[in-house]
Structure 1
Amino acid sequence: MARSPQTMPVPEKTRSSARIARPPSSPTLGSTVVLARWRLQRTLGMLFVTGIGMIAAVLIVCAVPLYSQVSTTAGLHSIFTATPDSPTMDIHATMAGLSSSIVNEVNKRIAAIPQNTIVPYTSGSVQFSIQSQGFNIAVPKQANAATSLTISGYSMNQAASHIHLLEGNLPQSTSKNLQVLLTQQTAQQLKVHVGSLIYIKFNAFTAQDISDTSEYVIDQNLPLLVSGIYTPSTTNDYFWHGTTLDPVLAKRESPASIYYFHAIASNDGILAAVDSTIQHLNKSQTNGVVFTSLFSELYWYYRLDPSKFSISNVDNLSNNLATVQSRIADNYGKVITAPDYPYIETAVTEGALLSTYQGPGTLDLFRNRVDVAQIPVTILMVEVVALVLFFVSMMAELLVERQFDSIAVLRSRGASRRQIFGSFVTQSVGLGVIAFIIGPILALITVLLLIQATLGANGQSALNVITGHPLSIVLFLAAYAAIAVVVAILAMSFSTFRAVSFDVLAIRRESARSTTRPFWQRLNLDILAIIVALTGYGISIYLNNLQGLDAQTRVLVQAPLSLIAPTFLVLAGVLLLLRLFPLLLRLGALIATRGRGAPAVLALGQMARAPRQSVRMALLLALASAFAIFALVFTASQAQHVLDIAAYQVGSDFSGTILSATSQTAFQKQQTMLQHIPGIASVTMGYKDNYQTNSANPSPVTMLAVDANTFAQTAIWNVPGVNLSSLMQQLVAQRQSAVSNDAVAVLVDSLTWSRLDLSPGAKFSVQV
């Protein structure tokens, strides 16, 4: 018979010693760091893979917005280099009178408006020009043709680099006569040379004579001295703003044909000649002004420098342009026939960048399209980053699960939850710091390589976004990197917190048979994803059928829906499959038991009892495959969409603007001439203009008048189910009825159809 051992009493001193040797309840930072370093030696491989995932997350989060900023800036720069005059905004003032004092006063008033808003974005100094046109050349006369001379004044310091002198010198303002430059063709047509005098005739009167027609002075003769013969330094030089410098003959039967000539002078020389004319008309008037029936115009040209702005401050530039445009229109937009001092009849802002009542300018068009393009880019970036962070969290869970036994042993030997949790968080923070340092550097290198590989010269010029503002780029990347690192650390901390709550018994029970449902199953995220996907598709279908919705709003709303709805549909499908995955494993295990092989039964049985690990791996693989396929499809769709937009904007392989045909014969002659250009398969010509409807709420309408006989053979038409040739045949068939009924047959788009509430055969009118 066995006897139970006798329980001996423990001395009081021993009990006290045991209490003293017990570890403290609150861990110190040092013990946490020591424990983290000890665990690092045992989990270095898993930590390395987790760190790679965190670096990848930071890399993507930093590279996508940085590359998007540089690429959109390159696109912004491209609209400023499309044509020589693309980056130019000019202010054009029509004057009733002219003199040196008047020009100085107008300069103070008008040039001050864009001084603080537009000038900081310009390259070099503002180009100022005085232009007067309609002068009749009295000497030398042209046989069988009238003459009209335009004199353009420039600053000779600015114009010198754009002029190639063939003979003579640049115009000087100190000469007795107004000195001018002529092109070689103009000099040959006028039969003049350097040193010759050209006399021009115009009507003029002073401010004293403006109300007294009996004092009207006519036939003022102004001598022009030919100081040089020149040619522009380069073809299509932006400095001349598309001005035709060589003579142009406008042939007409009645009245007589007109020769249009052009001469260049200095601004100071023109003003000196005007002041001399004033003194000649009324010597007692020392601060007068000369009025003329000719056009006297002042131009201020502001050439924007693309290197001084990027996509980040393009909104500020657009607002500044709109402010200048609004102030000029408010102060000088209304035409005044008899203006007071300083005799400004009207002033307008011009340029392709500016928006008008006819439609948005190139800058606003670009901004609108960038806003639309940023939506799918941002959504895709969020999806990819979420996938990477899911990978990071999964690696963190694997890292912790691999150490469940060690955690349980540490817990049983007195280590507190805080110490264990702190050691893992310390490792996470260490990985986060490494990713925060390395990730932005790799993102910067990646963006530079992508720019060199994908973007052209505009992309290289857009690099000043990175190289020109290093501090702002560092802060820009640091913000995105910090967000990615914090989210990754939180994901790892959440996985660690869940793991440290297990003891040895719970770990053995969970490894034998999983009893805890995943987080997404407890919240029914698969059902939520299905609801979001179906809602997105429903809204998209509703918007497609909604009448009267403007195109801009439709695009801004449908673009995110077209990405969000499929994403949630894929996510819902994957999660629903994973919800059924344990049942499929059990079914597989049941089928495997009918066979003779043990490995399949053991594998499927173990996976069916604890499917957590296999479910996570399947989820990661499914999401990665789905997003990869989705990204490829999206890229191909966007590439095709760019081609569709270009085809819609151009209308055919290429298009352009030509001089208006004055008659049906001239129209056909121009079309025949274009048809014979080598490589041209078909040509169509037409007219395009903007009008407003005659209704209570006028709407802008762009009218395109086409040649129905040739339009279908030339235009690009990608509307499914609608044959362009049959539409053109309908227009041809209704030509006679259009003449007899005084109503033109038109084809309208769906937006016009719904906005004007039209039906087949209905009529509407526009303001011409």
Structure 2
Amino acid sequence: MMALWTMIFRKMAKNRWLQLNLWFGLTICVALFSSMPLYSHAILQRTLFKELQQQQIDSNIYPGLLRVSTSISGGREFDMLRSQIAKADTYMKNAPERLGLDSQSYLMMRATQSFRVLPANATEREAKEMTINGSIRTVSDLENRVHLIDGRMPDQKRSDGVYEALVTQKYLIDLKRDLGQEFIYTNKDNGKKIRILLVGLIETKENNGYDQFNVEYYNSSFYIPYDQFQHDFVQNESILKLSVLMWQYSLNYQQINIDSIESFLAQNAAINNYFNMRLGIASVEMPAKTSIATFIEKKEKLDIMLWSLYSPVMFMLAFYLYMAANLIIDRQKTEISVLRSRGASRWQIMSVFAAESIILGVLALAVGPFIGIYFTKILGASSGFLEFVQRSSLPVAMNSTSYKIAALAVVGSIILILVPAFLATRISIVGHKQQLARSNKMSFWHKTFIDIVLLGISIYLLVGFNQRLDQLKELALDPNAIQVDPLLFFMPAIFSLGCGLFALRIYPWFIKLIFWLGKRWWTPALYSTLLQISRSSSQYLTIKVFLIMTIAMGLFSANAARTINGNMEDKIHYTTGSDIQLSIHWDNDAPPPPPPGGAPGAPAEDPSGIAAPKRVSYTEPPFITMTELAGVETAARVFKKDDAHFSSDGGEDVTTLYGIDTFDFGRVAWMRDGLLNYPINSYLNLIASDPKAVLISRSIADKYKVKPGDRISANWSGLDYTGFIVYGIIDYWPGWNPLPVGGVSEENDSNVQKPNLIVGHLSYIQNHLALEPYQVWIKLKEGAASKLIYDDLVKKEVPVEEMIDANQQLIRSKNDPFRLAINGVMTLGFVISMMISFFGFLLFWVLTLAGRTLQYGILRAMGISFLQIIGMLLSEQALTSGAAVLIGVFIGNGVSDMFVPLFQLSFNASEQVPPFEIVRQLSDYMQLYGVVGFMLTIGLAVLGIRISRMKITQALKLGEE
């Protein structure tokens, strides 16, 4: 047994560089698989935390709040009630432990029933007319939760039966008395009295951001110390009955873990069930529950998306492992066949290779998961494709799921590695020599027409997806944000492999054609190279398919990520129209809105229905203030009326009316190139000279046969029509959606109502129609942050009614977990593809060179110079690896053109404006070509060094053949 292990280790040491390449592939495979659950968990954890933070900003409610309040129903014996309250207190005391969160603040509040109070010195008139109600209330740790404005804190040790109480300023005004006054409650049934002395005036103490207690919310209350209330009203029966109990926690929501979501929601349901009619009508508030509940579905969708995103990279790694194992086995086929001819069984030989693979697998499993953590951190820093930012690192921690998946990846990889070894053990020494003599035979893939099958499957799926896309557009279905079908990522890999194999089926004939056309003129070195490639096409098949796949999938990943990011960002920019949209309050004489149900004494409507509503007059705020805000480069006034009307010779309809200042609008508006027939500034210059000039949408021009030079009229409710002259026709305009509400349909479909648009001069509209509030569109200075303008708006007390910030929407979009997944994994996939492409290329050519030592030795002995040998290598690489790279680029671009448009399935078709377009970035191609150029240069240098060190006499020694 020891001898067997000694042989295995010596064999591995002899082939250490090959084993190192194989170990590298295994380690990357383990790292990739182990990073999947880590990344899914980490980005969901970050997103949950960000959503809870945003919830606090939007609603001003602490997400970690847990508030349970219950009424006390009547008809219970006091002893039973006291026991139930004690059990409820114990139950709530342990609530943080059950939820798995630390408590940052805890309070209990109790209150008696509401009762009528009278001042002790009330006059007869006050005794008859005064109807002030109140209740005795307490809060645990009262003295630390309120701020004493006037007076003193109550003395709970007072023995004369008088309750010293604290009140709010508003309640003191309602009571019409000052501090030091006494109030009396008299029980009508038994005549017993409760005396209350006002000793202090209080307000809520400024809290620390998570303590949600507010005494002003419970205004009509006499606050007494907690221990005193507990003794007199909870432990002992009083003439005043308990009415309300409340327990409130501020829990550390940052400790909420994605893995414990189901447990968290189950505990919330348990609290609801526990208090349901136990003491009375109960209410359980947990603001975080709404955000948390959606994450179970998000986690399932994200897991599916990650598998689909990782699948092409996994496919490439599997291909790399198989190629590396196959190259290693090819080099050892002579040794295997000799062992078989000398009586070794297939299983004995397989046990040796299995032991080698297991050793490599265990080493990969020891290192891979930690590299997976590093991968996860890299993914967390990506804000776009191949773009990294300085953001807080993802919360990454190794878990059992990650190790289980990594172990399964190792097992699968070992099986994959052992397949070539198993096939090699079937061949005897004679069969091996026969195979070497027939190296130009057709490959198994081409014999079985796998390329045609793969192309057929992918084209069939592509047609199906295009049909779904057409239905999506026609029906205006909403696929809910980013929601990607896994096949959208796996299909391009299938198609790329099919195309690559099909191209390589034809390529040998192309090489033979080149050889035939110039066989009279080729140099001996090139002649030998062309013969070698044409006669041994199957020898280069693996490396060429490998390079084609890596290049094609790398380009597809780059284009897909750029396209998704670009279209989402374009949509935000186009919808907003500029960096920031502001709506400012305008003073007006509009009557206040009537209370629900109408107001008593309000004038009845005119039964004739003729009376028109009074037109509201507005006062325009100074616009100069907007232009002088910090961080503002340019500001423009943009009037937008969605319910305007227009009239033309062809008919009339509803329209959106824009009023703009052409010069300012051209400086702030965002518009993607190619949406209009001419640049947007050309249209603005066109109408700038004539106040009556307008631009109209294509929908008006087509439906009502309006053309440039025609006159149209426009107004809105309560105004007379004003005339305009049409100067131009447009298809898109910043902030305007030209898509019909019913979806995209055929051009001549009269059932679809397309939106209309008229763009005119703001000053003309204000002078001839009416002065009404407009939006302020702002372009920020280069590098200016939105916070600058926010702070200045507060400082200058600008009454903002609504604000839309494109930069903030972009940030939220980039933090979406699905977009994080796409950018992160595609970046990782692109980098890994380039990395394994380099190592695979180097491994193949080093092994190929080692196998052709005799050939190069003979050529050198025949007088072929070293430079000619290098020329042979260079031409061989150009016609194999170089050709594979070019084919990969063509296939990558073709796959992008065919499959990237299908990502429209991930967007809301009725809101995708501007239209979806494929985005390509030159830097991605430059990086790709840089990696390929570096790879070929290093490969050629390594091969040249090995050839320069080659000893001809050793190559030609007896028995080399």
Question: Structure 2 vs 1, CA of residues 299 and 748 (structure 1 numbering), >3 Å: closer, same or farther?
Answer: farther
Structure-2 separation of matches of 1:451 and 1:539: 34
Give the corresponding residue for 1:226: 200
Return the match for 1:315 from 252, 262, 279: 262
Give the corresponding residue for 2:504: 578
SS of residue paired to 1:373: helix
Aligned-residue offset at 1:559: 3.3
Letter in 2 for 1:597: T
Q: What are the Cα deviations for residues 136-181 of structure 1, in whole angstroms up to 9, with x where unaligned?
A: 998899xxxx999998956433x66665667776666555324326
Question: Structure 2 vs 1, CA of residues 625 and 417 (structure 1 numbering), >3 Å: closer, same or farther?
Answer: same
Residue 392 in structure 1 maps to residue 321 in structure 2: yes
Structure-2 separation of matches of 1:128 and 1:103: 16
Residue 378 in structure 1 maps to residue 378 in structure 2: no
TM (norm. structure 2) is 0.53
Return the match for 2:8 from 11, 36, 42: 36
Give the corresponding residue for 1:363: 292
Give the corresponding residue for 2:282: 347
Question: Structure 2 vs 1, CA of residues 399 and 149 (structure 1 numbering), >3 Å: closer, same or farther?
Answer: farther
SS of residue paired to 2:67: strand
After TM superposition, the structure 1 = structure 2 runs for residues 559-570 of structure 1, keeping only pairs within 5 Å, are 559-570=485-496
Structure-2 separation of matches of 1:34 and 1:635: 50
Give the corresponding residue for 1:59: 31
Residue 88 in structure 1 maps to residue 65 in structure 2: yes
Structure-1 separation of matches of 2:296 and 2:36: 19
Return the match for 1:424 from 315, 339, 353: 353
- Of 643-652 and 412-421, more deviation after overlay is shown by 643-652
Residue 601 in structure 1 maps to residue 527 in structure 2: yes
Question: Structure 2 vs 1, CA of residues 446 and 650 (structure 1 numbering), >3 Å: closer, same or farther?
Answer: same
Give the corresponding residue for 2:555: 629
Residue 177 in structure 1 maps to residue 163 in structure 2: yes
Q: Is the 8 A contact 2:163 2:224 kept in 1?
A: no
Question: Structure 2 vs 1, CA of residues 301 and 246 (structure 1 numbering), >3 Å: closer, same or farther?
Answer: closer
Give the corresponding residue for 1:437: 366
After TM superposition, the structure 1 = structure 2 runs for residues 92-107 of structure 1, keeping only pairs within 5 Å, are 92-93=69-70, 105=84
Return the match for 2:459 from 528, 534, 537: 534
Q: Is the 8 A contact 1:200 1:222 kept in 2?
A: yes
Structure-2 separation of matches of 1:324 and 1:748: 48
Question: Structure 2 vs 1, CA of residues 74 and 407 (structure 1 numbering), >3 Å: closer, same or farther?
Answer: same
Structure-1 separation of matches of 2:449 and 2:332: 29
Structure-2 separation of matches of 1:684 and 1:273: 65
Letter in 2 for 1:490: I
Aligned-residue offset at 1:395: 0.9
Letter in 2 for 1:310: N
Letter in 1 for 2:438: R
Give the corresponding residue for 1:17: none
Q: Is the 8 A contact 1:134 1:148 kept in 2?
A: no
Letter in 1 for 2:524: A
SS of residue paired to 2:486: helix
Aligned-residue offset at 1:197: 3.6
| Cα RMSD, aligned residues only | 6.1
Letter in 2 for 1:348: S
Q: What are the Cα deviations for residues 419-462 of structure 1, in whole angstroms up to 9, with x where unaligned?
A: 433322222121111111111233235545766898999956x7
After TM superposition, the structure 1 = structure 2 runs for residues 3-22 of structure 1, keeping only pairs within 5 Å, are none
Question: Structure 2 vs 1, CA of residues 133 and 576 (structure 1 numbering), >3 Å: closer, same or farther?
Answer: farther
After TM superposition, the structure 1 = structure 2 runs for residues 377-526 of structure 1, keeping only pairs within 5 Å, are 377-447=306-376, 463=395, 466=397, 473-514=398-439, 517-521=442-446, 524-526=449-451
Structure-2 separation of matches of 1:199 and 1:592: 118
Name stretches of at least 5 consecutive residues in structure 1 with no aligned partner. 1-28, 210-214, 248-259, 280-285, 333-340, 355-360, 467-472, 687-706, 738-746, 762-768
Aligned-residue offset at 1:245: 4.6
Give the corresponding residue for 1:616: 542
Residue 47 in structure 1 maps to residue 19 in structure 2: yes
Aligned-residue offset at 1:397: 0.9
Letter in 2 for 1:128: M
Letter in 2 for 1:305: N
Q: Is the 8 A contact 1:113 1:327 kept in 2?
A: no
Structure-2 separation of matches of 1:304 and 1:669: 50
Aligned-residue offset at 1:499: 2.1
Question: Structure 2 vs 1, CA of residues 585 and 32 (structure 1 numbering), >3 Å: closer, same or farther?
Answer: farther
Question: Structure 2 vs 1, CA of residues 303 and 240 (structure 1 numbering), >3 Å: closer, same or farther?
Answer: closer
Letter in 2 for 1:481: A
Aligned-residue offset at 1:520: 3.9
Aligned residues: 632
Give the corresponding residue for 1:129: 109
Structure-2 separation of matches of 1:522 and 1:261: 90
Q: What are the Cα deviations for residues 530-562 of structure 1, in whole angstroms up to 9, with x where unaligned?
A: 344334334433444168897468965x53243
Question: Structure 2 vs 1, CA of residues 715 and 114 (structure 1 numbering), >3 Å: closer, same or farther?
Answer: farther
Q: Is the 8 A contact 2:148 2:201 kept in 1?
A: no
Q: Is the 8 A contact 1:58 1:439 kept in 2?
A: yes
Structure-2 separation of matches of 1:103 and 1:623: 75
After TM superposition, the structure 1 = structure 2 runs for residues 218-297 of structure 1, keeping only pairs within 5 Å, are 222-226=196-200, 231-234=205-208, 237-240=209-212, 243=214, 245=216, 266-267=225-226, 286=237, 290=241
Q: Is the 8 A contact 2:110 2:246 kept in 1?
A: yes
SS of residue paired to 2:63: coil
Residue 300 in structure 1 maps to residue 226 in structure 2: no
Q: What are the Cα deviations for residues 89-135 of structure 1, in whole angstroms up to 9, with x where unaligned?
A: 43344567799976874675699599779942342275433479999
Question: Structure 2 vs 1, CA of residues 422 and 447 (structure 1 numbering), >3 Å: closer, same or farther?
Answer: same
Aligned-residue offset at 1:669: 11
After TM superposition, the structure 1 = structure 2 runs for residues 117-196 of structure 1, keeping only pairs within 5 Å, are 119-124=98-103, 127-130=107-110, 155-157=139-141, 174=157, 176-180=162-166, 196=179
Question: Structure 2 vs 1, CA of residues 602 and 560 (structure 1 numbering), >3 Å: closer, same or farther?
Answer: same
Q: Is the 8 A contact 1:521 1:579 kept in 2?
A: yes
SS of residue paired to 1:69: helix
Q: Is the 8 A contact 2:151 2:199 kept in 1?
A: no
Structure-1 separation of matches of 2:428 and 2:230: 96
Structure-2 separation of matches of 1:495 and 1:652: 60
Letter in 2 for 1:508: K
- Of 432-441 and 586-595, more deviation after overlay is shown by 586-595
Structure-1 separation of matches of 2:451 and 2:404: 32
Give the corresponding residue for 1:338: none
Structure-2 separation of matches of 1:205 and 1:649: 65
Letter in 1 for 2:166: V
Give the corresponding residue for 2:653: none
Structure-1 separation of matches of 2:481 and 2:2: 59
Q: Is the 8 A contact 2:51 2:291 kept in 1?
A: yes
SS of residue paired to 2:68: strand
Letter in 1 for 2:526: A
Question: Structure 2 vs 1, CA of residues 67 and 450 (structure 1 numbering), >3 Å: closer, same or farther?
Answer: same
SS of residue paired to 1:559: coil
